């Protein structure tokens, strides 16, 4: 189980995250929703070990990052929001680099990488440097890299950006199967539809604070407000319809 307890993060004087606590159980896909600047990426960076919290802690199966850095990191697969990778390498070289940094056995390099490249439809471009890849192709490389070491926890920060419809459907199915297989998935996104279709629970963040946490089943009960309505209410979002009307009026004029 992934457990975040009282996570706070300050950047200078600004409080980006304020005592956020949540859990992700095995077999669960937890949607992590919030408007821009609400602290989603900060949380994700703390969970994967790229940032240290100002206070609070994250434990994975009862152990913190500082207690067992290697064991902790090897249980996590991470897909960042932007496809930041070394574009002067080929997809094979990049995955091989990661396999070796994670000290995976030779079989992973020789068998798993070509197989993953084939399954992610990158095999034909395996000798091209990733500079020639589209955003969707780079996103697929990152997903392959996140899955390469068969992690227990998958942390996805907006993983569907740039993916075409087929790849999006494939990943949705894949994430469902990974959860069914007992993996934990923390899914940070802006997209309500993806959360509704994929997640078993949703955690909503606003201005660095956790403002709501619901089982997705709760939204299926008749008479309950939808996820979108709940989100707008708890994050105090304004009604966008007057603004949309104004834009329409402007372009029509």
Partner 1 sequence: MRRTLDERPWYQLTTHFFRELFDFGMLSDAGSDAVRRMLIGVVAVTLTFGLLLTRMYLGKYVALSELFHDWGTGYKLNREPYHLAILGDGALVMAFPMLIVGFVVVLVSSSLFPNEIDCRVLLPLPVSKRVVFESKALAVMVFASLFALAAHVAMIPVVVLMWNSRWADHGLVAQLGAHAVASLGGSIVTALVIMAVAGALLICVPRSRLQAASIAFRGACLCGLVLSIPLVLRLPMSGARIASGSPLFYVVPPIWFLGIEQLLLGKATPYFVRLAQIAAGTAVVSSAVALGSYVFLYHRFERVIFRPRSGSDRVPRERRGGTAAIGPFIRATLTRSPLHQAVFVIIAACGAGLVLNSFVGGWDPGTAIWAPFALMLVMNVALRAALVLPIELRANWIFRVTEDEATRAEELNAVVRTMIFLGVVLPLAMLFPVEWVVLGPRAIHCTSIAFLCGLVLVELQMAEWKRIPFTCSYAPSKQFVGLTLLIGVAAFVVFAAIGSRLVSYSVSHPVGWLAVMAILGAVSLYLRRERLWVARRATLMFEDVLPNEVEPLKLSEF
# residues near partner 1 by CB under 8 A: 38
Q: Going residue by residue from 135 to 164, which x/- string records binding to partner 1, judged by CB under 8 A?
A: ----------x-------------------
Using the minimum distance from each CB to partner 1, give the nearer residue, 70 or 237.
70
User: Which 64-83 residues touch partner 1, going by CB under 8 A?
Assistant: 69-70, 73, 76, 78, 80, 82
Task: Tell me if residue 97 falls in helix, strand or coil.
Answer: helix
* CB-count exposure of residue 156 (10 Å: 0-12, 13-18, 19+): buried
Distance of alpha carbon 171 from alpha carbon 149, whole angstroms? 17
Using the minimum distance from each CB to partner 1, give the nearer residue, 19 or 126.
126
Q: Going residue by residue from 82 to 121, which x/- string records binding to partner 1, judged by CB under 8 A?
A: x-xxxxxx--xx--xxx-xxxx--x--xx---x-------
Distance of alpha carbon 72 from alpha carbon 66, whole angstroms? 9
Task: Kindly state the smallest distance separating residue 45's Cβ from partner 1, in Å.
Answer: 9
Per DSSP, 225 falls in state: P
* CB-count exposure of residue 94 (10 Å: 0-12, 13-18, 19+): buried
> Cα 144–150–156 angle (5° rounding)?
55
Please report, as ranges, the residues that interact with partner 1 according to CB under 8 A.
48-50, 69-70, 73, 76, 78, 80, 82, 84-89, 92-93, 96-98, 100-103, 106, 109-110, 114, 124, 126-129, 131-132, 134, 145
């Amino acid at each position: 189980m992934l457990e975040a307890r009282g996570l706070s993060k300050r950047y200078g004087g600004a409080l980006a995250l304020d005592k956020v606590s949540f859990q992700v159980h095995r077999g669960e896909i937890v949607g992590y929703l919030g408007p821009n600047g609400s602290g989603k990426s900060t949380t994700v960076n703390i969970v994967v070990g790229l940032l240290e919290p100002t206070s609070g802690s994250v434990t994975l199966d009862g152990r913190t990052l500082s207690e067992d850095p290697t064991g902790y990191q090897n249980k996590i697969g991470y897909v960042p929001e932007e496809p930041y990778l070394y574009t002067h390498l080929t997809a094979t070289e990049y995955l091989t680099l990661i396999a070796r940094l994670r000290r995976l056995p030779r079989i992973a390099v020789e068998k798993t990488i070509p197989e993953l490249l084939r399954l992610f439809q990158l095999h034909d471009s395996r000798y091209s440097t990733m500079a020639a890849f589209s955003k969707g192709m780079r996103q697929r490389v990152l997903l392959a890299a996140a899955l390469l070491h068969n992690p227990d926890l998958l942390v996805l920060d907006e993983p569907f950006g740039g993916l075409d419809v087929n790849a999006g459907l494939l990943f949705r199915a894949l994430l469902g199967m990974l959860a069914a297989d007992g993996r934990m998935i923390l899914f940070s996104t802006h997209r309500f539809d993806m959360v509704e279709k994929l997640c078993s629970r949703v955690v909503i963040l606003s201005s660095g604070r956790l403002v709501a946490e619901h089982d997705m089943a709760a939204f299926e009960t008749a008479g309950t407000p939808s996820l979108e309505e709940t989100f707008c209410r708890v994050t105090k979002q304004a009604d966008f319809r007057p603004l949309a009307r104004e834009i329409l009026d402007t372009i029509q004029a």
